[in-house]
A and B are shown apart, each in its own frame.
Chain A
Amino acid sequence: MPIRLNLDRIMLERKMSLTELAERVDITLANLSILKTNKAKAVRFSTLEALCRELKCQPGDLLEFVDKE
């Protein structure tokens, strides 16, 4: 997927663990792991909103377009 989620970088900057973020955003650890490893095919606005709220960032900080060519 050319769209990447920089969740691991922002979590590192905020010094927040995966378990803590999962509890705050109210999604399962398995689903958060799918997001973190860039295996997700789609992200709901509600999930993105919760992530931005808890990580205190903008959607643009989380999402990145990577041109493979």
Chain B
Amino acid sequence: MKLSNNLPGNLRFLFGFLRGFTIFGAVVVFIVVVLIPWLAPHNTAWKHMDVLAVVRLDFEPGVYRVQATKAAVGDVALTEIRGSLAVNRASADAELAVLSCWLFFLRTTVELAFYYVCLDLLWRLCRNVERGEIFSESNTRYVRNLGFAILVYQAVACAAGFWYARLIDGFLQHRIVAEGVKLRLHWGMGVFPLDVSLIVTGLLLLALGEVFRQGLALKKENELTV
């Protein structure tokens, strides 16, 4: 059955374009991270500040006081301050520069790979729909793989976030100089965000894959009914 409107065709074009854009992005990342520092180490175009993580400073009680006219002592308290930790990717401190480059490389690689896989699966799905193949083996596989890709991405992002947070935390503990302040890295934000709605979408797609599988079984049965 051919669909009368051209929505699948337009979507296929859009996904194909965005998929090509991710390849372009990968090439740009390769040039920025590998080629420019290698070919022109004194070129400062790529050396910009990179946000490493969001850090939280926890205070001991009484270190800082918030004064309120009618409030009793202890009614209002400053317990923490949050801020972004940004570093120069070409810092003279080699350890810092490596940390920053690692984050940039890791984040862009994981995200580009994830976007490429998702866009490629969506492109294939739209191509099949455009051909009039709705409930087919390949479409069932594509929808299921899309769900798995989202869940795997979130798992990888979570693991990488933990690992990187430990790395930065270890680095910062020896370098922050402050009295009465305890540093804590807020790992979830800024490094690899854990997106609950994306996890729900992944599970929804797995359920949709099962619907496609059942639909395919019904279609096969119907095709062999004479």
Contact surface of A with B, Cβ cutoff 8 Å: 27, 31-32, 34-35, 39-44, 47
- Closest chain-B Cβ to A38's Cβ sits at a distance in Å of 11
- Closest chain-A Cβ to B33's Cβ sits at a distance in Å of 57
- Closest chain-A Cβ to B225's Cβ sits at a distance in Å of 4
Q: Indicate if B226 sits at the interface (CB-CB under 8 A).
A: yes
Chain A residues within an 8 Å CB radius of B221: 41-42
Contact, CB under 8 Å: A39 / B225? no
Q: Which of A31, A39, A41 has most B Cβ within 10 Å?
A: A41
- Listed by A's residue number, 22 A-B pairs whose Cβ atoms lie within 8 Å are A27-B226, A31-B226, A32-B226, A34-B224, A34-B226, A35-B226, A39-B224, A40-B224, A40-B225, A40-B226, A41-B221, A41-B224, A41-B225, A42-B221, A42-B224, A42-B225, A42-B226, A43-B225, A43-B226, A44-B225, A44-B226, A47-B226
How far, in whole Å, are A43 and B221 apart by their CA atoms in the complex?
Answer: 11
- In the complex, the chain A residue whose C-beta lies closest to that of B221 is A41
- Closest chain-A Cβ to B217's Cβ sits at a distance in Å of 11
- Closest chain-B Cβ to A24's Cβ sits at a distance in Å of 15
- In the complex, the chain B residue whose C-beta lies closest to that of A27 is B226
- Closest chain-A Cβ to B103's Cβ sits at a distance in Å of 56
Chain B residues within an 8 Å CB radius of A32: 226
Chain B residues within an 8 Å CB radius of A44: 225-226
How far, in whole Å, are A43 and B226 apart by their CA atoms in the complex?
Answer: 5
Chain A residues within an 8 Å CB radius of B226: 27, 31-32, 34-35, 40, 42-44, 47
How far, in whole Å, are A21 and B221 apart by their CA atoms in the complex?
Answer: 24
Q: Which of A27, A39, A42, A47 has most B Cβ within 10 Å?
A: A42
- In the complex, the chain B residue whose C-beta lies closest to that of A31 is B226
- Closest chain-B Cβ to A31's Cβ sits at a distance in Å of 5
- Closest chain-A Cβ to B206's Cβ sits at a distance in Å of 28
Chain B residues within an 8 Å CB radius of A41: 221, 224-225
- Closest chain-B Cβ to A51's Cβ sits at a distance in Å of 10
- In the complex, the chain A residue whose C-beta lies closest to that of B224 is A41
How far, in whole Å, are A40 and B222 apart by their CA atoms in the complex?
Answer: 10
- Closest chain-A Cβ to B42's Cβ sits at a distance in Å of 73
Chain A residues within an 8 Å CB radius of B225: 40-44
How far, in whole Å, are A47 and B225 apart by their CA atoms in the complex?
Answer: 10
